[in-house]
């Protein structure tokens, strides 16, 4: 990890800062993952970025 590079001098501060960073990172990943799962459920498991019907839901057929 590049973060430990800055922590050569103050090892005690570094450890606590790194722990906080890891916690925030972990929480962010949790939120993003759960959000991703809830978004992809209505689309039948496909990813929210690429719905099956292309860009946006087209309700009426194209002529």
Residue 45 pLDDT: 52
Helix (H, G, I), strand (E, B) or coil at 52: coil
DSSP secondary structure string, 29-55? HHHHHHHHHHHHTTTTTS-TTS-TTSS
pLDDT digits (tens, 9 = 90+) for 39-63: 766 655 555 555 555 555 555 555 5
CA distance 40 to 36: 6
């Amino acid at each position: 990890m590049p973060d430990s590079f800055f922590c050569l001098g103050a090892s005690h501060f570094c450890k606590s800062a790194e722990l906080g960073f890891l916690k925030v990172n972990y929480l962010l990943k949790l939120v993003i993952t759960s959000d991703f799962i809830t978004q992809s459920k209505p689309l039948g498991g496909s990813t929210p970025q690429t719905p099956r019907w292309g860009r946006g839901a087209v309700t009426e057929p194209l002529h």
